[in-house]
Structure 1
Amino acid sequence: MPTVGFVMLCHTALNRAAQVARFWAAAGCPVVIHVDRRVERGAFRAFAAELADLDNVGFCRRFACEWGTWSLVRASQEAAAQLLARHDRVRHVYLASGACLPLRPVEELIEYLDARPQTDFIESVTTADVGWTIGGLDEERFTLRFPFSWRRQRALFDASVALQRKLRLRRRVPKGLVPHLGSQWWCLTRRTLSAILEDPDRPMLDRYFRQVWIPDESYFQTLCRQYSTQIESRSLTLSKFDYQGKPHIFYDDHLQLLRRSDCFVARKIWPHADRLYRSFLAPAADQPARAEPNPGKIDRLFAKAVERRTRGRAGLYMQSRFPRRDHENGKTCAPYSVFHGFSDLFEDFETWLARAVGGRVHGHLFAPDRVEFAGRESVFNGALPDSASLRDYNPRAFLTNLIWNTRGERQCFQFSPRDNQECNWFIATDPNAQISVITGTWAIPLSRANANFSAIRREAARLQRLETEHLAILRSMYVKARVRIWSMAEFVENPMEALQTVIDEIRPRSPRQLAEAPRMVDLTGFGQFLQNLRNQGMQPTLMGDFPVVMDPQPPARRPDRPYVVR
């Protein structure tokens, strides 16, 4: 005769509960079922009729149950008392819900418990050691009163807690009790369970726990410490909760995950998981051998799932999970490089850089007229168009999408004060960004512009103000990007050394030195142009010290080595 009996608390998916009850009863285990009183009478009668052919399945008095209230404890008490009274050979009582699913043959559970006849399996931890409570109530759940429903009367619940805290109202914990918390789903011995149910002080204890918050996670968990001689503080039921305290639901694609846990029972199972019910309710001969129950083997997967749910993937933004600003798990998903001022100083700089780094090199992605994708494509990876108006609707989303859609390939793009400046702070605070700046090169195109000098002077003043603001951001204490800044005069003195430094950061594993430098634009007359700006009342300060008469020249090309023709 089996020595294990089951108590089931059911309120939905009664057809699945009937399958599980029949599975346990078919192995000879008695089952007592509590059905929520709020279940319609017709559904209850159909449920009872479906199990009427089983002599070892019974139903207890029904209570209207609600999450986190005394009604759940009362239902467990009533069903457990009936099970113990009618089946005197039962040595262990296993509490389960209608959403639970056996993961192993009943015979293995019976054998496991028979080898531990005096052991109570119940998670029972003191409030000081609990790290999973949600809602900010640990010790206070035992010292305050909770007359209102947390789910249905949330405003009254919060107001009641706040008032009791303000008035410093405290309940006294019954003498000798040390409050403990743990999972609702336990497996207790007859000796311990009957001692709890037959305690002479039970009316007083019930009155106390009736006003405790979520008593189904503390009533048996606390009282078992008074009577049990051997407790294993763990549940034989696999139940996982997310960061909000809500239970994980298992679906058909969790089949291998559940098998890997080696637990005897799991909750909470989706009612339509036909594959799970078909696999685990199969005859014992069709199920593989299992080891000691060890839900910790899958804890790593759940921890990763929680991290993915709360932090997301670096650089990925989506409607289902849009992080708060500056609380992202990485602003972008991969490293990228920004070249500020290089395209004004060098001719065909994009082509040269693409050969040097072997990555994708764009023009000015934030240019005012259009997005200058590499090769001047009109549509880029991820269906990103070159429309400036669409880009400017959300420039940050444009940049993060570009980096996400091209992950695995280094992206480089040009920048200048003429471009949209909205992403300046975003890029500067992005650890994935590498920013190289040559200040003052925006003046080179102006020096060759065919326009009234007064208009050129106003434009120069505007661009210098924008670049100064950008430089202030890049020199801020909040910057997380890797930033290198040269003045134009400093860079022109030794361009190869500066370029080699930038390229080495992009491709650190490449030992090759640069074989050629990009061709620098003709700077003849540039010093005089700067002096003309000064003469007209505009002081250019970002170019460095350029002489007026002796214009800096690009370094002379090394002459070809002479050779002999034979």
Structure 2
Amino acid sequence: MTLGFVMLVHTGFDRAEQVARYFAANGCPVVIHVDGKVRTRKFRAFRQRFEGEPMIRFCGRIRVEWGTWSLVRATQKAATRLLKQFPQVRHVFLASGSCLPLRPVAELRAYLDAHPETDFIESVTTDHVTWTVDGLEEERFTLRFPFSWRKRRRLFDAYVGLQRWLGLRRRIPDGVSPHLGSQWWCLTRRTLESILEAPDRAEIDAYFSKVWIPDESYFQSLARRYATRIESRPLTLSKFDIEGKPHVFYDDHQPLLERSDCFVVRKVWPRAEGLYRNFLDDDRPAIRRAEPNPGKIDRVFSKANERRASGRVGLYSQARFPAPGYGGGQTCTRYNVFSGFDDLFRDFDAWLARRIGGRVHRHLYAPEMAEFAGGETVMNGCLSNSASLRDYRSEQFLTNLLWSTRGERQSFFFGPNDRQAIGWFLLRDPNATMAIISGAWAVPLHLSDRPFAELKSEAARLQRIEMDFLRGLRMPGVAARVHHWSLTDFILRPAEKLHTVLEEITGPGPRRLTEMPRMQDLSGLRAFLIRLRNEGTKPQVMGDFAALPAGEDPQPEERSRLVR
């Protein structure tokens, strides 16, 4: 009998019983500590299940709270009884009720027999290695922590701050070198007895009782004091996420767990029937084993932590809704925004769809509703064209649309008549290609039969809105690919400007732009703009409209030049 187990149990009693019986059936004594917070009736029922089982014992109970001395005290109680009741035990393996053996116990016993004087415990110095995830390292040994970090967080932080401000530092006992590491270890009898029977244990325990999270430092530090040889690695596979919380393993993790070659894993989901059925079966087919090496699967967990931290670019969900700018991207794919083109050209959406492919929507942020391509009322991802639903989260409306249609490039129109809340989001999104013809809204106004007084008021309103939007182009943080022309500049050379935008969207190619969309009737536009100016509504976003030909459309000449 060379191997014994200490099990710390506070929940999942059926699984803990299953694992404890497995250890005992393989000749390994087990001492179980049940959390003192567990009701007496439940504890007694659990203990009665092991009546007549000579290899399984229980120890006195401690009310355990995370990150406090109580967890070390519970481990001390269970380990003391194991060493006393089973003198043949040479190695003591610390496990929890959610641990599961990954390899037959015979392999673990043989491995320890080959290393009779070795302690397997992660033990790293605070000076040379950053071990913790978002927590205290050196200060956990030099400050006092009488308050619970979980239950009295404000008081905990305030007291830490006060000690820092006053410059208070605790004296580390002689002979103790602060080390940190995983709670789960496998120690030799000699080392463990030396820790538990040390002549200055009362002083050591009093010191560590005020250390923050002492279960990650008590045995890790004292093993350095007494061990003959330390392998600074646990034989238990335990992985932690970016918040320092343990990863939970499920049935579909079985190939990953086998690849690690570790002897025990923590933490297994209680309902992972496949894992318990497979790994507690000593008759399963033998697998060629190697030295325990959890590093072989580190890449998978690094990827999981990266995904957890950053998510997938452009994906927003209830589980991940990061702060603005956090996560590396706003949207998941490239898209196009055209402003003013549908005012200047007839049926521009149909022409654009033929030219670049993908889906060309009209005004997704129109006041009445989202104008999806083809007049659809519901898009991929069950996105409704309801203006109320869209405006509740205008940015997420776009990110959801792009996520649900990824693989197909989306284009839509945007102008001063639309809801403007989305404007700055578009400008700072590197996935957006924006083509803007400022002042193009004047074209449908001059073609309108409405009274001029109304047109004048409407022109003033639209210009004010567009000027606010254009002001954003000069702000820091603009990441979109922006092409901006005034109405006059574009009208004088429409094919050249349009070709520039299309080439960026589709990529450079040998094809020239030989077919232009039909431009609106621009005769009289110059006169209309002059009248607006003379009536007191000065056109400011159209460029030098005096350069426009008086009373004629410049497009025919441009089109003839293209096809020559």
Instruction: Letter of the 2:390 partner, please give it.
Output: R
Farther off after superposition, 299-308 or 353-362: 299-308
Q: How many angstroms apart in 2 are the aligned matches of 1:442 and 1:274?
A: 65
CA contact (8 A) 1:69 1:213 kept: yes
**Distance verdict in 2 for CA 1:49–1:341, change over 3 Å:** same
What is residue 396 of structure 1 aligned with on the other side? 395
Say yes or no: does 1:371 pair with 2:370: yes
What is residue 118 of structure 1 aligned with on the other side? 117
Say yes or no: does 1:362 pair with 2:361: yes
Q: How many angstroms apart in 2 are the aligned matches of 1:285 and 1:316?
A: 42
What is residue 241 of structure 1 aligned with on the other side? 240
Farther off after superposition, 346-355 or 51-60: 51-60
Q: How many angstroms apart in 1 are the aligned matches of 2:447 and 2:322?
A: 46
What is residue 420 of structure 1 aligned with on the other side? 419
**Distance verdict in 2 for CA 1:281–1:524, change over 3 Å:** same
Q: How many angstroms apart in 2 are the aligned matches of 1:310 and 1:375?
A: 38
Q: Deviations over 1:180-210 (max 9, x none)?
A: 1111110112222222222222221112112
CA contact (8 A) 1:192 1:227 kept: yes
CA contact (8 A) 2:309 2:327 kept: no
**Distance verdict in 2 for CA 1:277–1:527, change over 3 Å:** same
Instruction: Letter of the 2:421 partner, please give it.
Output: E
Q: How many angstroms apart in 1 are the aligned matches of 2:248 and 2:467?
A: 55
Give the count of matched residue pairs: 561
What is residue 232 of structure 1 aligned with on the other side? 231
What is residue 52 of structure 1 aligned with on the other side? 51
What is residue 90 of structure 1 aligned with on the other side? 89
Q: How many angstroms apart in 1 are the aligned matches of 2:509 and 2:296?
A: 42
What is residue 455 of structure 1 aligned with on the other side? 454
Q: Deviations over 1:401-448 (max 9, x none)?
A: 221221110001112222221111011011111101112211111112
Farther off after superposition, 146-155 or 192-201: 146-155
CA contact (8 A) 1:104 1:287 kept: no
Q: How many angstroms apart in 1 are the aligned matches of 2:193 and 2:469?
A: 75
What is residue 20 of structure 2 aligned with on the other side? 21
What is residue 210 of structure 2 aligned with on the other side? 211
**Distance verdict in 2 for CA 1:382–1:285, change over 3 Å:** closer
Q: How many angstroms apart in 1 are the aligned matches of 2:376 and 2:460?
A: 33
What is residue 107 of structure 1 aligned with on the other side? 106
- Once the 2 structures are TM-superposed, how far is the Cα of residue 558 of structure 1 from its aligned partner? 4.1
Q: How many angstroms apart in 2 are the aligned matches of 1:44 and 1:371?
A: 61
1:137-536 equivalences in 2 (<5 Å): 137-508=136-507, 510-536=509-535
**Distance verdict in 2 for CA 1:239–1:489, change over 3 Å:** same
What is residue 127 of structure 1 aligned with on the other side? 126
CA contact (8 A) 2:492 2:554 kept: no
- Once the 2 structures are TM-superposed, how far is the Cα of residue 129 of structure 1 from its aligned partner? 4.2
Instruction: Letter of the 1:137 partner, please give it.
Output: L
Instruction: Letter of the 1:122 partner, please give it.
Output: I
What is residue 539 of structure 2 aligned with on the other side? 540
- Once the 2 structures are TM-superposed, how far is the Cα of residue 352 of structure 1 from its aligned partner? 1.1
CA contact (8 A) 1:365 1:414 kept: yes
Q: Deviations over 1:280-311 (max 9, x none)?
A: 11124445333222222222222232233332
Q: How many angstroms apart in 2 are the aligned matches of 1:76 and 1:138?
A: 22
Instruction: Letter of the 1:523 partner, please give it.
Output: L
What is residue 553 of structure 1 aligned with on the other side? 554
TM-score by length of 2: 0.93
**Distance verdict in 2 for CA 1:504–1:150, change over 3 Å:** same
CA contact (8 A) 1:527 1:551 kept: no
Q: How many angstroms apart in 1 are the aligned matches of 2:192 and 2:269?
A: 30
Farther off after superposition, 205-214 or 292-301: 292-301
Farther off after superposition, 51-60 or 535-544: 51-60
CA contact (8 A) 1:24 1:106 kept: yes
> The residue matched to 1:322 in structure 2 has which SS?
coil
> The residue matched to 1:438 in structure 2 has which SS?
strand
Instruction: Letter of the 1:546 partner, please give it.
Output: F
Farther off after superposition, 544-553 or 212-221: 544-553
Farther off after superposition, 232-241 or 368-377: 368-377
Instruction: Letter of the 1:364 partner, please give it.
Output: H
**Distance verdict in 2 for CA 1:117–1:509, change over 3 Å:** farther
CA contact (8 A) 2:278 2:284 kept: no
**Distance verdict in 2 for CA 1:158–1:286, change over 3 Å:** same
> The residue matched to 1:423 in structure 2 has which SS?
helix
Q: How many angstroms apart in 2 are the aligned matches of 1:522 and 1:63?
A: 87
Q: How many angstroms apart in 1 are the aligned matches of 2:376 and 2:56?
A: 72
**Distance verdict in 2 for CA 1:76–1:395, change over 3 Å:** closer
Farther off after superposition, 464-473 or 25-34: 25-34
TM-score by length of 1: 0.93
Q: How many angstroms apart in 2 are the aligned matches of 1:511 and 1:24?
A: 73
Q: Deviations over 1:45-97 (max 9, x none)?
A: 33333333332322233333222222222222232233333433322211111
CA contact (8 A) 1:417 1:467 kept: yes
Q: How many angstroms apart in 2 are the aligned matches of 1:394 and 1:63?
A: 50
**Distance verdict in 2 for CA 1:561–1:289, change over 3 Å:** closer
Percent pairwise identity: 60
Q: How many angstroms apart in 2 are the aligned matches of 1:70 and 1:369?
A: 63
- Once the 2 structures are TM-superposed, how far is the Cα of residue 487 of structure 1 from its aligned partner? 1.6
CA contact (8 A) 1:14 1:47 kept: yes
- Once the 2 structures are TM-superposed, how far is the Cα of residue 4 of structure 1 from its aligned partner? 1.7
Q: How many angstroms apart in 2 are the aligned matches of 1:357 and 1:531?
A: 37
Q: How many angstroms apart in 2 are the aligned matches of 1:274 and 1:561?
A: 72
**Distance verdict in 2 for CA 1:79–1:509, change over 3 Å:** farther
> The residue matched to 1:471 in structure 2 has which SS?
helix
CA contact (8 A) 2:336 2:412 kept: yes
- Once the 2 structures are TM-superposed, how far is the Cα of residue 467 of structure 1 from its aligned partner? 1.4
- Once the 2 structures are TM-superposed, how far is the Cα of residue 173 of structure 1 from its aligned partner? 0.5
